[in-house]
Structure 1
């Protein structure tokens, strides 16, 4: 990922928080049949390895999982993003030297994946993934709520994986390269927008 110094995010806690906040990743591999990409919710085990370990699973019918062991896997987590109008910059009124841009938050995690196909490993994986996303609900659903034979059928239909993170990069492109006045103009412009994406991004500018 091209990350100019002004936008580079190296804080491990913030990178982990972004993964947890936006856990639906785009998983990309280069295999024998070219590029493969799948969109999967991933679980971060922050305390496993230097940068943490990601866990997820494919439908067994998805051929992408067969490419996982062929080389490096890239997981992309995208956060809030929005169009930035040059009309919001006070500097535009001064000299007109301004063009549109796009602000966004993104995290890239890379590593060598390991497959998980045994029943107990898969059961633990889906149980942890479900527990994470059911947390906070009044009556959280658990894998154990479903009949064992049904769960066994579902487990046979998936292939799990672990992805120990070997390289973790973050980009917080939030107008840091602009003047304080222009950044304030961006904040005001996004704040006045009714678009949900704009409101999600402005919360990260505060």
Structure 2
């Protein structure tokens, strides 16, 4: 990924935060049958590895877990909010006419090595962790024990675990850091006004942060 210095995010904690808040990743592999991309939720574990370990699962019928070998390099793309930026939002455009459209976004690329975990204990643990994380906001969180035991056993046998030890993290937060202050403020507020609150606020927050 091309990352100009003003869009680079060297703070690993910020990258981990985005991965936790947006855990539905693009899982990119280059196995025996060539490039493939699957869309999967992952649980980030920071108790193992220098940069963390990602845990997920795929359907047993998905060929990806047979297509890759343990130790193969993989890429996971975690994407937060994004939005089109019109030049009309930049006060400098109206003064000098020297602006063009662009697109702002926040992404993290996690590079690592994959391990296929085709064992019931691992898969059960992954499902339990993902469930606890994403059911936490529900009024009555669903638990694995809510389902009949035999049904749950059948469902667990139908999936295979995916574990990725992260070797490298690359973050790119493109939030108009290379623009004039007035342009950043104007575009951030315009995005919030049209309903793109998250990316608009991210742009405004970036103004207060030290620039890379």
**TM-score normalised over the length of structure 2:** 0.91
CA contact (8 A) 1:86 1:92 kept: yes
Deviation at 1:34, TM superposition (A): 1.6
Q: Find the partner of 2:201 among 185, 200, 203.
A: 203
Give 3-state SS (helix, strand or coil) of 2:6's partner: coil
Would the aligned equivalents of 2:55 and 2:161 in 1 still touch at CA under 8 Å? yes
Equivalent-residue separation in structure 2 for 1:18 and 1:68 (angstroms) = 27
Q: Is 2:81 the counterpart of 1:80?
A: yes
Structure 1 residue 54 displacement after superposition = 0.4
SS of the residue 1:169 aligns to: strand
3-state SS of 1:149 partner:
helix
Residue in 1 that maps onto 2:112: 111
The aligned residue for residue 18 of structure 2 is 18
Corresponding residue number in structure 2 for 1:44: 44
For residues 167-206 of structure 1, what are the structure 2 equivalents within 5 Å? 167-194=168-195, 198-206=196-204
The yes-or-no answer on 1:67 pairing with 2:30 is no
For residues 11 and 131 of structure 2, the distance between their equivalents in structure 1, rounded to whole angstroms, comes to: 27
Quote how far apart the aligned CAs of 1:137 are.
Answer: 2.5
Equivalent positions of 1:149-164 (< 5 A) are: 149-164=150-165
- Tell me how far apart the structure 1 counterparts of residues 55 and 68 of structure 2 sit (CA, whole Å): 13
Query: TM-score, normalised on structure 1?
Result: 0.94
The aligned counterpart of 2:208 is none
How many residues are matched?
Answer: 203
CA drift of 1:30 comes to 0.9
SS in 2 for 1:172: strand
Higher mean Cα deviation, 98-107 or 40-49? 40-49
Structure 1: gaps of 5 or more residues: none
Match of 1:34 in 2: 34
Contact kept, 8 Å, 1:111 with 1:165, in 2: the verdict is: yes
1:3 and 2:10 are equivalent in the alignment: no
The alpha-carbon deviation at position 166 of structure 1 amounts to 0.5
Confirm or deny: 8 A CA contact 2:117 2:163 kept in the other structure: yes
Q: Is the 8 A contact 1:69 1:112 kept in 2?
A: no
Contact 1:88 1:185 in 2 (8 A): yes
The gaps in structure 2 that reach 5 residues or longer are 205-212
User: Which moves more between the two structures, 100-109 or 124-133?
Assistant: 124-133
Match of 1:96 in 2: 97
What's the secondary structure of 2:69's corresponding residue? helix
CA distance in 1, matches of 2:123, 2:202: 36
